[in-house]
Amino acid sequence: MSQVHTTAPGDFWETEPHHHEDGASTSVGFWIYLMSDCLMFAVLFACFGVLGGSYAAGPGPQDLFDLNLIALNTAFLLISSITFGFAMLRMMLNDQRGTLIWLFITLLFGLAFLAVEIYEFHHLIHVGAGPQRSAFLSSFFALVGTHGLHVAFGSIWLVTLMVQVSQRGLIPANRRRLMCLSMFWHFLDVIWIGVFTFVYLLGMI
């Protein structure tokens, strides 16, 4: 008696599972986020470029900015990028304690940067140079304030990762998160160099 062999429709489909590199989608997604952030800051820089000379008979950069203080603040952020690099080097060596120490030092520099920026904003508002005073100040507070909010968010993220690393160690998931935060932190440094040059240095000329 002959047997009839039937083939189910599903047999024609590939049943071999696809293998994707672990964490690849996370890295791609984070790069897309950084690109969207670049567009946002590009718009803010463009707005400042258009409105930066509209003082409305009010104070300008030479009347308001303290370059020595801003240079110190710039040093805080640039040094924090270096210390974050040291943290990543310790992570590559699987040194959990060393990673946490350098992350904590990075956090201190980040908080110092925020403290100086808050002091600067408070001083400007105290002398009557708030964001409502002129188009120049509105665009200034929007650009510099948005960058400051990013640093504050990065600091909160840094504390969160320090807790996760201390509890779970340098597992692959935490390594990916630290890599993403490292890109974010260095990105903020690049943006701040643009702010320091375009807003503060050129404004004092």
For 40-60, how does the pLDDT look when each residue is reduced to its tens digit (9 = 90+)? 999 999 999 999 999 998 999
pLDDT of residue 10: 47
Q: What is the pTM of this model?
A: 0.86
DSSP string covering 156-195, please? HHHHHHHHHHHHH-S-HHHHHHHHHHHHHHHHHHHHHHHH
The full length of the chain comes to 205
For the chain, the structural domain boundaries read: 64-204
pLDDT of residue 3: 52
- Specify the CATH number for 64-204; select among 1.20.120.80, 1.10.3720.10, 3.40.50.460, 2.60.40.10: 1.20.120.80
pLDDT of residue 1: 47
DSSP string covering 27-67, please? HHHHHHHHHHHHHHHHHHHHHHHHHTT--TTS--HHHH--H
Per-residue pLDDT tens for 15-44? 444 444 555 567 888 999 999 999 999 999
pLDDT of residue 182: 96
Q: Which residue has the higher pLDDT, 9 or 154?
A: 154
Q: How many CB atoms lie within 10 A of CB 94?
A: 11
Per-residue pLDDT tens for 73-107? 999 999 999 999 999 999 999 999 999 999 999 99
Per-residue pLDDT tens for 98-151? 999 999 999 999 999 999 999 999 999 999 999 999 999 999 999 999 999 999
Q: How confident is the model at residue 12 (pLDDT cuts 50, 70, 90)?
A: very low
Nearest-angstrom CA–CA distance, 99 and 102: 5
Q: How confident is the model at residue 11 (pLDDT cuts 50, 70, 90)?
A: very low
Distances from the Cα of 42 to the Cαs of 54, 113, 191, in angstroms?
Answer: 19, 22, 10
Region for residue 171 given its phi and psi (left: phi exceeds 0; alpha: psi -120 to 50; beta: otherwise): beta
3-state secondary structure of 200: helix
pLDDT of residue 204: 87
